[in-house]
Structure formats: structure tokens, C-alpha cells
Amino acid sequence: MNCIVVDDEPLAREKLKLMVARDTSLTLLGCFGNPVSALEFLAINTVELIFLDIQMSACNGIEFAKKVSPEIMIVFTTAYTEYAIDSYQVNALDYLVKPIHESRFMQAVQKAKDHSDLVHAQKTSYDHVSKADQDYVFLRSQRRYHRVNYADIWYIESMKDYSILHLSGHTLTVGMNIKAVCEMLPPEFFVRISRAYVVNFSKVSSIDHHDVQIGDRQLMIGNAYREKLFELYVHRKK
């Protein structure tokens, strides 16, 4: 896996550099004391994993993580345990407390390997199997992958770079925008009705020119999506 280290402490960077060098599964592409330089590097290079300090003078690591692709795995490295809860905001893969011990570092790397293998396996599955031929999708939330059955999804709500899946009896928040989630679902069953909502058409109880009724919720239809939605509705009614 290609990785980088972002930490404004020279000694911390050097220690992580040595740990990475001892693991043959990792390829260190760079060490950065300046978060701005790291972001510039990420803009033009493919990086799979970042070892990222949180308490940096130029930038908070949590805010830095929000600026990178959600596909990049984040392992936080910090001397401050109180940031552990905040790390969940960006779906961090792991949280290492300084001084970092070799065994704990290896455990975090193994998590990254397992995560990478799972993503690859899922992508391979999507490349060879039609979405309509399966009845579920795996989605990541709070550092775990959850199997979500299509039939359990009522609708999906956009929250900037996150999406909230309204399921049968509970909700699930995932660190993906609604467009990315929608692309993982079969278009035969799921349709976008606005910038804010994607609905499971089988859960729609009624529809008019302004909104879609799902359960006890009325979800507004966006003007740009109305024509396509009604074409789909009429087609299904025939």
C-alpha cells in the first residue's frame, strides 16, 4: 500500500518512517511536516493510507482528514487520547496514541490491509455481478462494514459529504456523498428525487407534483428531477 506520514514533529515523523520501512507491505511516498504540502501532494499522487497527527500547529488533523478523499484510509497518530471520539467524524481506520509501540502499529497496518482487501473484493463483485442480481450492499460506517439489504432501505438523505440511510427501524450514517451511494444501488429500485433525497421506489405509498410519500414522511421533489421521476412512475404503472 502506498502511504504518507503527516506530522509536524520531526522525531515522530522519523519514528513512523522507520516503522513503515520495516513493513514490506507498505511503500512510503513521503513525510510531511506541513499539512499544506501534504494536500498538494495528494492532489497529484495516489495514496491509499495516511498516518496523520491530530494536534499540529498549522492545521488540526481532523480538519485535514475532511479535505482528503474518503477512499483514503486514515490512521491518526497523537499524544492526546481525548481526540478519539472526534476521529469517528471522518471514519478513521485506527487511532494510535504516542509513544507508538511496534505491535500496535502492526495492528493498525493489518486493519488497513483487511480494509483494502474488502474494498477490492467488493469492487470485483460489482464488476462481475449486476446490482440487480444481488439484494444487498456493504457500506462503511464507524470503521465497520455493514451489510444493508436493499429491501430495508426506505430512503437516503444527503448531509453534505455524508449520507443518512433511513432503514427499517433505524438509520445508518456513511462517509460518502449521496451520489456515490446511489451509484452502488440498482437503478431499477432506487431513484433520486432531489439533491437531498434518493428513495426506494417500492416504499413509495403516494406521489404528486410536489412530493413523495414514504411512511409518515413527505419528501419534496426537486424541479430538475420531476420529469424523470414521473416518467419512471408512469412506466411502472403500465
Q: Residue 103's pLDDT is what?
A: 94
226-232 long-range Cβ contacts below 8 angstroms, 24+ apart: 228/191, 229/191, 229/193, 232/191, 232/201
30 sits in which H/E element:
strand 27-32
**Distance separating alpha carbons of residues 33 and 47, to the nearest angstrom:** 17
Share of the chain above pLDDT 90, in %: 49
Other Cβ atoms within 10 Å of 181 Cβ, number:
22
pTM of the model: 0.57
- Structural domains in the chain, CATH included, are 2-125 (3.40.50.2300), 131-237 (2.40.50.1020)
Band the pLDDT of 128: cuts 50, 70, 90: very low
130 pLDDT above the threshold of 60? no
Least confident of 33-47, 53-67, 94-108, 162-176: 53-67
Band the pLDDT of 237: cuts 50, 70, 90: low
Q: Which of 110-114, 133-137, 141-145, 234-238 has the highest mean pLDDT?
A: 110-114
Q: Residue 88's pLDDT is what?
A: 57
Q: Residue 82's pLDDT is what?
A: 64
Least confident of 8-17, 59-68, 130-139: 130-139
**Secondary structure (DSSP) of 166-192:** EESSSEEEESS-HHHHHHTS-TTTEEE
Residue type, 216: D
**Distance separating alpha carbons of residues 80 and 140, to the nearest angstrom:** 26
Q: Residue 86's pLDDT is what?
A: 58
